[in-house]
Amino acid sequence: MRDILSRLLKPVVTKLEPEAAHQLAIKALQWGLVRRPKEEPDIRLATRHFGLDFPNPIGLAAGADKNAEAPDGALGLGLGFVEIGTVTPRPQAGNPRPRLFRLTDDGAIINRMGFNNDGSAAVLARLSARPRQGIVGVNIGANRDSADRIGDYVQGLASFGPIASYVAVNISSPNTPGLRGLQARSELEALLARLNETRAGLPQPVPLLVKIAPDLGHDELAAIAEVCVAGAIDGIIVSNTTVSRPPLRSGLAKEAGGLSGRPLFDISTRVLAETYRLVGTRVPLIGVGGIDSADAAWAKITSGASLIQLYTALAFQGPGLVTAIRQGLSRRLDEHKLSTIAEAVGSKADAWLTRPPE
């Protein structure tokens, strides 16, 4: 019955106004209307990073469940982890609608949501009410009108540190003016110093990850890598949406905002491979951007991602994509005669960097 409902829902969801469709999809997850087919987990896909045991490396990227309305429904799709948020200290409405655009011919989305979210108190209450099971990270940000942006991140870490599996510091959203400036060396050093002080005061240390933009030059990336290693950052999420516009078919290409999905794949995978070359195995990387198949997932992993996340392709293809990626990764392990997914990480990073642009 539930699977029939989820199959019926998909065509409805893809025809609705994009933001309404998204809200319906979250409700369907919350109500448990979508679930994965029963199947034995492949233990070769299990992987351990920053003290957490991931049942598989596939996660839900931030932005899909900003308010922690459906983390358990999302985990129920067979994902290895879920990242909720971005959450800001105070609730905020975000940008005026329309602010979410589906570029169907390009397999892409442009969004300028602007951190619409219920605020940390409401999200914390929701997370506190659920059983502590599965890996649920919290992505934190700053309010648009904040007079003290670093203070907002400190507040986010202090609020969610005790309950989150990990905390991701989002300094790469293009839709909050000036936010990406926190990626500059001196700003990032100041931010991480304050966050490490806060982290040291928590009852238990929580893994701290940094999420970066794909629109960074080599020197900027090298500085970020150095500061993250020096600041004992547990993971780098590569990447957020891009403000660049590779060639696109859709007339909506001119909309302002961050581009995600298929056209982001090459851009973000290049930055991922470059980051891998800079940090090696010192900091695990989470590869995000345009993953829409098991092939794309495998390419992210071999380019340097220890874990992966997705959002846009899930919105287009529906939850069956998670199962397809899990099964596809298992097949790749068979083909390459590998006994764990960790063995594949980074094996093609150099090849990505020398690859001619398409």
User: Which residues make up the interface to ligand FMN (CB under 6 A)?
Assistant: 61-63, 66, 85-86, 100, 109, 111, 113, 139, 170, 173, 211, 240-241, 260-261, 264, 288-291, 310-313
Beta carbon nearer to ligand FMN, 45 or 142: 142
Cα–Cα distance for residue pair 289/297, rounded to 1 Å: 10
Cα 267 to Cα 221: distance, rounded to the nearest angstrom: 14
What is the DSSP-derived secondary structure letter of residue 182? G
d(CA 241, CA 218): 18
Q: Least distance in Å: CB of 307 to ligand FMN?
A: 13
Q: Supply the minimum distance, in Å, between the C-beta of residue 327 and ligand FMN.
A: 19
Other Cβ atoms less than 10 A from the Cβ of 251: the count is 9
Least distance from ligand FMN to the Cβ atom of residue 48, Å? 23
Nearer to ligand FMN, 243 or 338 (CB): 243
* 249, β-bridge pairs: none
Q: Which is nearer to ligand FMN, 180 or 211 (CB)?
A: 211
43 vs 99 by CB, closer to ligand FMN:
99
Closer residue to ligand FMN (CB): 40 or 358: 358
Quote the CA–CA distance of 29 and 301 in Å, as a whole number. 27
Name the residue type at position 232: A
What whole-number distance in Å separates Cα of residue 210 and Cα of residue 277? 17
Angstrom distances, CA of residue 111 to CA of 91, 98, 114, 255: 19, 9, 8, 8
The least CB distance from residue 310 to ligand FMN, in Å, is 4
CB 260, min distance to ligand FMN, A: 3
Contact 173, 258 (CB under 8 A): yes
Please report where in the chains the tokens 């992210």 appear, as a residue: 300
Rank residues 288 and 341 by Cβ distance to ligand FMN and give the closer one. 288
* Residue of 173, 239, 260, 268 with catalytic role: 173
Residue least distant from ligand FMN (Cβ): 63
We find the least distance from the C-beta atom of residue 121 to ligand FMN, in angstroms, to be 18
Respond yes or no on whether the N-terminal peptide bond of residue 91 is cis (omega within 30° of 0): no
Contacts of 345 (CB under 8 A, 6+ apart): 301, 302, 304, 305, 306
CA distance 8 to 202: 46
146 an active-site residue? no
Active-site residues: which are they? 173
